[in-house]
Amino acid sequence: MRAEVEREALAAECDRHVAEEDEILKEYHALSDVLPDGPLSVLINQIVTEEEMHHFLLRTLSEWLRAPNDPVGDMPPEGVDRDSILRQTRALQEHEKKTIEECRSLKSRFSGEEGALYECLLEAIALDSEKHHLLLATVARVIGR
């Protein structure tokens, strides 16, 4: 019973965070609407896209926490070829590592105001690849059980 109460509390916290962030998301959309097409609107629209994904992930987490049968408890799913998935996952992790290294190496080739925008975009890609690597590491850990 205590675990159920704890899961509901966590789900409610996710719901609360989504509700709070809805207002911030509206502000990002408003900013995006007033910026003309160009580099700055690309940056703001990237944030909008990621904020929308955060909302989706938090809502999904909330649903999973409230599910009568924990969907996470069924991992990895029956019938999957663990070895094949593990090989693919590790290959993708290597790709993400390479992307991180290449983006950060390219950053050093830019300078000045114009360079700041390119450096920012390359670092954003590197950070996304770090996130992808983290997600893949979790897939590998679950499949490797």
Q: What is the mean pLDDT of the chain?
A: 91
Q: What is the pLDDT of residue 1?
A: 66
Q: What's the rounded Cα separation, in Å, for the pair 99 and 116?
A: 19
Tokens of 111: 């300078």
* 58-96: pLDDT as tens digits: 999 999 999 987 777 777 778 889 899 999 999 999 999
The b-or-e profile of 56-75 (16+ CB within 10 A means b, else e) is eebeebbeebeeeeeeeeee
Which pair of structure tokens corresponds to residue 109? Answer: 């080739």
Question: In this predicted structure, what is the pLDDT of residue 85?
Answer: 93
Choice between 3 and 128, residue whose per-residue pLDDT is larger: 128
Per-residue tokens: 27: 């502000």
Predicted confidence at residue 20, as pLDDT, reads 92
In 65-142, the DSSP E strands lie at none
